């Protein structure tokens, strides 16, 4: 099994949307026209990279990364990771680890001083991120806007 990780392009949008439905199955499907407009906005953001993991040519997972400029830590930026998802049929096969390794490499290449993410309150997910070298070092807060 060959796993490759690369930056997503607009051509990958039709493969990304089913992955995001696995991540948030209760969400209403995003209309294709809306998805296209959102992709255009994402592609214009400096420092934004959506990673795609492929297994033998099939899209198996994704992680959304953004480098945020920073006025602390000597001006070194921060890499934030969101919307990490591996298709159910590809889980526990190394896809997630490869995605996270690629995200860390992206942060290193941008001279980030840290890679940061929030994880669901799920022991399996926490164990996964710890196995990828992340440490639970802060208490996260969210406020959803309806």
CA distance 144 to 146: 6
Helices 123-131 and 95-109: angle between axes, nearest 10 degrees? 50
103-145 per-position pLDDT tens digit: 999 999 999 999 999 988 888 999 999 999 999 988 888 899 9
Query: Per-domain residue ranges for the chain?
Result: 3-131
Write down the pLDDT at residue 19: 95
Per the CB < 8 A criterion, the answer to whether 63 and 51 are in contact is yes
- SS3 call for 129: helix
Across the range 49-68, mean pLDDT stands at 97
- SS3 call for 80: strand
80-97 per-position pLDDT tens digit: 999 999 999 999 999 999
Res. 36: pLDDT tops 90: yes
Kindly report the average pLDDT of the chain as a whole number: 95
What is this structure's pTM? 0.93
Write down the pLDDT at residue 146: 83
Write down the pLDDT at residue 32: 87
Write down the pLDDT at residue 120: 84
DSSP per residue, 101-127: HHHHHHHHHTT-SEEEE---S-HHHHH
CATH 3.40.630.30: does it fit domain 3-131?
yes
CA angle 130, 123, 64 (to 5 degrees): 60
């Amino acid at each position: 099994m060959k796993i490759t990780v690369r930056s997503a392009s607009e051509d990958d949008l039709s493969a990304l949307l089913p992955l995001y439905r696995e991540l948030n199955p209760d969400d209403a499907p995003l209309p294709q026209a809306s998805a296209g407009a959102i992709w255009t906005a994402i592609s214009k953001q400096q420092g934004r990279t959506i990673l795609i993991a492929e297994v033998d040519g099939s899209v198996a997972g994704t992680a959304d990364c953004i480098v945020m400029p920073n006025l602390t830590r000597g001006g070194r930026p921060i890499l934030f990771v969101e919307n990490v998802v591996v298709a159910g049929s590809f889980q526990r096969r190394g896809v997630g680890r490869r995605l996270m390794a690629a995200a860390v490499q992206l942060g290193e290449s941008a001279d980030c001083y840290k890679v940061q993410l929030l994880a669901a309150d799920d022991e399996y997910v926490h164990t996964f991120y710890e196995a990828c070298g992340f440490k639970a070092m802060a208490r996260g807060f969210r406020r959803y806007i309806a």
